[in-house]
Amino acid sequence: MNLYELDISWASSAREITGLRWELATSDDVGGVFLTGREDTLAVLYAGSRHDFHEWARTLGPGLPTTTEGALR
């Protein structure tokens, strides 16, 4: 498993945050989610490659920016 940063700045409503929590909790590839020092970023323990993580992260929110910059790996 690798640790990556997930930008959640797009999740501003309670509905979006709840949906995000469910997506993270039900993913077989997510081994854990941790708070970071920034309120708009989560650290995600993910059982896949960096490319796979970014592809998966794009499905979570509208226009979610994901790059390899800032990855904790």
Measured in whole angstroms, how far is the alpha carbon of residue 68 from the centre of its chain?
13
In this structure, are residues 10 and 63 in contact, taking their beta carbons and an 8 Å threshold?
Answer: yes
- Retrieve residue 54's tokens: 């970014």
Asked if the structure places residue 70 within a domain, the reply is: no
Q: Would you state the pLDDT for residue 42?
A: 92
Single out the residue of 61, 26, 31 nearest to residue 44, CA to CA: 31
Q: Residue 46: which of 63, 66, 16 has the closest Cα?
A: 66
Read off the CATH number of the domain in which 46 is found: 3.30.70
User: Does 34 map to a domain?
Assistant: yes
Question: Strands (DSSP E) along the chain, which ranges?
Answer: 2-7, 30-35, 41-46
Instruction: Write the pLDDT tens digit of every residue in 10-69.
Output: 888 888 888 888 899 999 999 999 999 998 999 999 999 999 999 999 888 764 444 444
* 36 domain residue, yes or no: yes
At 69 the pLDDT is 46
Q: Give pLDDT, residue 64.
A: 47
Range of the domain at 51: 2-58
**Domain total for the chain?**
1
